[in-house]
Structure 1
């Protein structure tokens, strides 16, 4: 996109609308809405004129922050890409208004509200560009993080806490992502708000489901209310809320649907491995061995839970020894209960998987949809580890359990249907971090390292240090900064003394099968149906009138914000150009910076690991998202490994959010991105051929 052309077109569109709606005749037709549109377009003009030279300064240098010339991707590029999406939406809406304002079906209030929302978004994106400009000036050349300037990072956290974010969760929700994902994002946001309203109420079962359903409709009708409530929830609700909401993917309904939609497998077996010491040969001299202790951190020895998935039954997978580790769930299909199923020989490959979930939520069950696909497409057994979760089990418990599971798999690969000639570690997000740190731990213990790592959008720096891609947490509905900081602090053990497991009515996992089905199914249906039915209508009475009154109130607040005259929360923690200040939130977020020393432990944040702990890693394949707040984690870690001479590749997929692997069945774009991950794993297994 030629930005000069885009800014010129936007300037012309703004002038046309200002001229048209400044006319007295337009005022007679559309009433006070004309004043709103004129004021809004003037503010858009002001923002665009200030932003245009900023864009040029970023374009001139952002290629210096890429991994290499063939892999254009870093947080600065992403900010420009997001701004481009916002400008295109504004330009499209402006042209629509200019062409259709005389139509009898033209909804002046609706279009004014749309333009005001994107004006607010443009204002906040302008602020993010100023913050990113500060990063370029303060960081070393080519560096995306302020790893040494803790005061600067702390001020970024404070600035985030007071900035207005609701505009990105209302009418502008998901504008930066692929259009095919926007209905899904709306459903997630509405479900989260509805659940947040009932979270603190002492209700469970059908009562909770009914309340959530009844409250969801108003957030479809009223985008401004949706944005304000989502901002409030993401800023102020505790860690247990996030755990319980994210664990909706564990419900019988969703896992059942995923199993129906995913590839069938002949083996899906849950295992519980007792905590006994293991003897493994040393990598340097297989005639010597070392002892691997079971997980011990925080509460002493305990079992490790895993899930074995195999598209075909292989030798060893129906053995009495393996079935003795079963947690009570029989294999979905096995040679022992279907005698005519022919057992396949041991595979030379073994895939060991660590799931994502911010170290605080989800299990292998949440990720079954793509694990089943991998097992079939690669024709390989998949062992997925259900490590203990924070804050109940902070670092290093998850790492110890994953490392023990890796060692147990090497020693008992014959039970898993594999000779383990080639072993690949794969994981997403937090699981990607564990893939890297487990490999580091294997090197320090002197045992065999895996033959390759595929880490999708991994977290390699578990701090709240500022980077250009981390600025996206201001606008990301799936990874808001408040939730990210809570996850990082939970893994560091900051809240481990006071954290309690989610129980009772505060967890969606506590809902029965029928209740969860009612909540999930009806919320989705209500969202789609009400959206399509009510959007072209004017609210007239009852609840609709209340929604209309709320919109009028929000419009007045928007006008006040557009003029920047609100005295609320006007304190700035960073310097902006004279005459500009971002919009401020009505309530500050309470964000605790990651100040615990554990966060900078190299086995927590491998980006901070010394070269001695990284040298000798197997080939690392990183698959990152251009629109992910953790993009810079992957770019900087890939650069670090490359500069050491370590084998590494980085692929950056476009237009998708963090967590795309779990969304692989939702759209063509997520399916293609998941295919990239599969290709990287296949590349690891094919390296011996």
Structure 2
């Protein structure tokens, strides 16, 4: 089921265009509209603005009017070229869906993103046409807004041309470029040179739900502020606080923010990304995390455990009287413990036992009600949920995902074991897989300590964690041990190669998954990014954030001085690699770069764009390291490439994907592969949300609904539907249960 079916726009006719345009602007139901009406409306709006700006008037902003006329003519040209392109995609993209009831693939997404951009242009254009003669009209601001969306439209036109090449060169129904083609390398080359800053400035997050855009702005401003200070001193609390002082200029200058974000995503190394992402662990970066933890469901059990590296003897699935040995994780540095977190909304038998608490890493263990005599201990649950967190294999822990895990535990009334596997690049493949598989087998053997009989066991994870859910199930299958009763993966990464697909073209515009960052994560997991591994570096990197008060005060003083000076001396550079006046290109300079003559000397494109068209180019090319290591095609790294014999026998797989996720095609193709093999699989596609929406589940209504979709998939695996129906009937609630 695609939950977006319940939010479809009606067909568009004549005078309804204004209301429907506004409706679609805020609810992103563009694909159900007549695309011809959208392009006709765009052309009309452009003509209105051109007529108003060219007509004799007393407007005091002649130069701005000239800019707007030039901009609207460019938008008109893009629109006229793109209309037949969109028509071509609409005629064929149903061939790439999972099934007729689940419309979703990268081609649909690209058209959806394009139409979102057009709706913003139409909305802004109508405002300009209606208010340009007003005394309160902000000419410079509105011209800059329209120019930013014109630049975004130009880049989207280039992406759609690349998608056309994929469509023409691939076998019908195949979303990924074929191994023998050069399309993937061409896309990486284009990504390296194409201008991306417009998508991180004024146009930031235009494709997502409006409720998420303030959050996106906060994330991007935090990142660029932190990135400006990165490298000037050792990472620490002082740098995080100092970043707050530098953030003001990025709030008031969207162009500067976009240029700096582009620089960071293209050029900073994995050290930076781990340092920034780990701020969520320390509580220093509270982009909603503080509120989420306060608002999240309280639980009675929340304890971290350390599993010792001892050999397990696990019953064989075929004959439980026989056992097989499961060795502790050994990759890269030998046997070592595995860290997990136990979360339970209610205290259950075994969870306060001395045997379990002997594994605890805390003193005293944080089982909040074990000492309260009036709290009744619940019996063992028949269900057990084992969770692997996301974070690109390089960042985050169970603590980062605690907000929605608490809610899941309460909604499903189930104990949850979340595995804190070792992170790359210090612990590349297969260390994380070994630790997750070991934790899974340990949980099966010690389920009575975790408050469960393990009658039904489910694996759940998001992104990289979704990959681990699938590969742990494959490993259980190949080792002959019990496989879980079901797997729920949210936006999983099932193909870690750099093969191009239509949804992966979104890495050019996605603030959560830029291609440069994605390839760094993949290289780290493959072990090609760092030459040295160490068992402790990745586990407690947050400890590097602790600094003494004297250093902190010194940092704050210096930061305040630099921040004030940046306003007093706007032309002065703030240090190597920081944003300077040279990065703040004017819109006219950017427009010049669209000329084939100008761009040809800077970048020789291997993509055959239509005559007279070239996308905008960046001042400096990015370096994107293609992953050529054969390990990336290992089926336990990229399960989409697994042979059928490794996948046959997997438990039912429930995939929840986002239509605007760059990894959407990973979900669609993996679901189709399982279905074609006869394996039980379901795919749900939610709309208007970015990659990683589970971590945002309590920050917007849309993400809360998407998280509830995941809960319902888990409920199916645990076979709780009948219990839910019984409870609703006893409460007098009307509910239809299939």
TM range (shorter): over 0.9
- Call closer, same or farther: CA 1:610–1:205 in 2, change over 3 Å: closer
The match for 1:531 is none
Establish whether residue 637 from structure 1 lines up as the match of residue 678 from structure 2: no
Which region of structure 1 is more displaced relative to structure 2, 668-677 or 203-212? 203-212
Change in 2 beyond 3 A, CA 1:169/1:143 = same
**Cα contact 1:150–1:465 (8 A) shared by 2:** no
The equivalent position to 1:601 in structure 2, one of 634, 638, 642, is 634
Mapped contact 2:154–2:615 kept (Cα < 8 A): yes
Question: Which position in structure 2 is the counterpart of 1:83?
Answer: 114
Tell me what 1:11 maps to: 43
- Work out whether 1:384 is the aligned partner of 2:426: no
CA distance 1:474–1:331, shift in 2 (3 Å) = same
> Is 1:405 the counterpart of 2:436 in the alignment?
no
Work out which of the residue numbers 91, 98, 117 in structure 1 matches 2:129: 98
Q: Kindly state the Cα deviation for residue 202 of structure 1 after the two structures are TM-superposed.
A: 1.3
**Structure 1: distance between partners of 2:521 and 2:235:** 26
The separation in 2 between residues aligned to 1:455 and 1:678, in whole angstroms, is: 11
Q: Which runs of 5+ in 1 are unaligned?
A: 523-540
Partner residue of 1:621?
A: 654
Alignment of 1:128-147 (within 5 A): 128-147=159-178
Determine which of 583, 598, 607 is the counterpart of 2:616: 583
Residues 1:514 and 1:24: Cα distance change in structure 2 (over 3 Å): farther
Aligned 1:638-677 pairs, distance under 5 A: 638-677=671-710
- 1:31 is aligned to 62
Closer/same/farther in 2, CA of residues 388 and 341 from structure 1, 3 Å limit: same
SS at match of 1:249: helix
How far the C-alpha of 1:29 sits from its partner, in A, is: 2.0
Q: Which residue of 1 aligns with 2:13?
A: none
1:427-466 Cα offsets, whole Å, 9 max, x none, are: 0000000000000000000000000000000000001100
RMSD: 2.5
Report the more deviating stretch, 149-158 or 379-388.
149-158
1:571 is displaced (CA, Å) by 1.3
1:69 corresponds to: 100
Is residue 417 of structure 1 aligned with residue 451 of structure 2? yes
- State how far apart, in whole Å, the 2-side matches of 1:171 and 1:507 are: 34
Q: Shift of the alpha carbon at 1:249?
A: 1.7
* Moved >4 Å (runs of 4+): 203-206, 253-257, 498-504, 506-509, 512-515, 541-553, 562-565
Q: Is the 8 A contact 1:190 1:219 kept in 2?
A: yes
| Partner residue in 1 for 2:475 | 441
What is the Cα deviation at residue 206 of structure 1? 5.7
Paired residue for 1:350? 384
1:150 CA displacement: 5.2
CA deviation string 1:330-386 (max 9, x = no partner) = 333355422332211100100000000000000000000010111111111000000
Give yes or no for contact 1:564–1:583 (8 Å, CA) kept in 2: no
Query: 2:426–2:537: 8 Å Cα contact kept in structure 1?
Result: no
Measured after TM superposition, the shift of residue 259 of structure 1 is 2.9
Bigger CA drift: 206-215 or 37-46?
206-215
CA offsets 1:55-94 (integer angstroms, 9 cap, x no match) = 0000000000000000010000000000000000111111
* CA shift in 2, pair 1:549/1:16, >3 Å: farther
Separation in 2, partners of 1:361, 1:549: 33
Tell me which residue corresponds to 1:244: 275
Return the alpha-carbon distance in structure 2 between the equivalents of residues 242 and 354 of structure 1.
20
TM-score (norm 1): 0.92
Query: Could you tell me whether the CA contact under 8 Å between 2:389 and 2:401 is conserved in 1?
Result: yes
Residue-by-residue CA offset, 1:390-421 (whole Å, 9 max, x unaligned): 00000000000000000000011011000000
Partner of 1:166: 197
Distance 1:335 1:553 in 2: 59
SS at match of 1:32: helix
Contact 1:224 1:551 in 2 (8 A): no
CA distance in structure 2 between the aligned counterparts of 1:329 and 1:370, rounded to whole angstroms: 25
Residue 17 of structure 1 deviates from its aligned partner by 1.5
